[in-house]
Amino acid sequence: MLTIGVDIGGTKVAAGVVDDNGEIVDHTLRPTAADRPDKVAETVADVVRELSEGRDVEAVGVGAAGFVDESRSVIRFAPNLAWREEPLQKKISGLVGLPVVIENDANAMAWGETRFGAGRGQSHVVCLTLGTGIGGGLVFDGALYRGRWGMGAELGHMQVQPGGRECGCGNIGCWEQYASGQALVKEARELADAQPERAATLLGLAGGKIEGEEVTEAARLGDEVSLAAFANLADWLGQGMADLASILDPGCFIVGGGVSRAADLFIDRAREAFAERLTGRGHRPLAEIRLAELGASAGVVGAADLARRR
């Protein structure tokens, strides 16, 4: 059975035809009209029509960054797209004439990785996407956990530091303010301002404005401030996973997202921090911490498989 998976981001719509084995047999990419909800639905319909031509497609799964209701049809709120109570499932289904399932993008990624990527063979998985913020997805007893209202697993917004940094969600001290791509850059900038003599390589590469790529490159060249920023991210990541393990007791954590491309600079230390801070350490099994395997295609593959299982 062929299904189509669509991953709607703030700047692009990625889509692919996916077979039963999680293989993408064809794909396409379009820009996202983030300020026009109706145009986004039309863009999704266009890519579905394009990919459906000459194929027997059964259904469409759409992953979108936002709060998706329990019926998996309405986007209640999306921080980076102009969606407020958007009936996206109805709109797209009406345009393409196929069954459509809407899912949170991090949930779709988690399902894709659990079924066909780093989580294969695992029944209890916590999936983390480290990008600008932290996205999360939970798979328990082999099923995706969404919560009562469909809005669970917003792991990046658990409060880890009372009175800490302000978060874009409106709260203070959220985990993603300490263990994400934006947190890494913020930490590096603050350290470089305070101790420029330790950031000579970073400042030389940045040429005036420090961004994530420069921090990564400088860290690999031995820049002290950049390495310290990665160490701080690793400690916060390990602490957060230890807290989640105390509540959820997963068999496996999967770490993906853009920041994970620099995993060689932080994942070992994060594993150590996790083991050191885990409640009951030494008297319980230690959950594995794995790197995601499907890369940018995880959301497409996951959304397509969820449509298949609708």
Predicted confidence (pLDDT) per residue in 38-48, tens digit? 789 999 999 99
Residues 6+ apart with CB under 8 A from 208: none
- pLDDT at residue 38, as a whole number: 76
pLDDT band of 144, cuts 50, 70, 90: very high
On average, the pLDDT of the chain sits at 95
Which comes out higher in pLDDT, residue 24 or 67?
24
Burial of 82 (0-12, 13-18, 19+ CB in 10 A): middle
pLDDT in tens, 85-134: 999 999 999 999 999 999 999 999 999 999 999 999 999 999 999 998 99
pTM of the model as a whole: 0.92
Instruction: Check residue 65 and give its pLDDT.
Output: 85
Residue 191, CA distances (Å) to 94, 118, 213, 215, 289 in order? 52, 34, 16, 12, 28
- Reported as a single tens digit per residue, the pLDDT across 256-279 is 999 999 999 999 999 999 999 999
Tell me what pLDDT residue 305 has: 98
Query: CB within 8 A of 170, min separation 6: which ones?
Result: none
The CA distances from residue 217 to 93, 214, 221, 226, in Å, are 45, 5, 6, 9
51 near 15, Cβ under 8 Å? Answer: yes
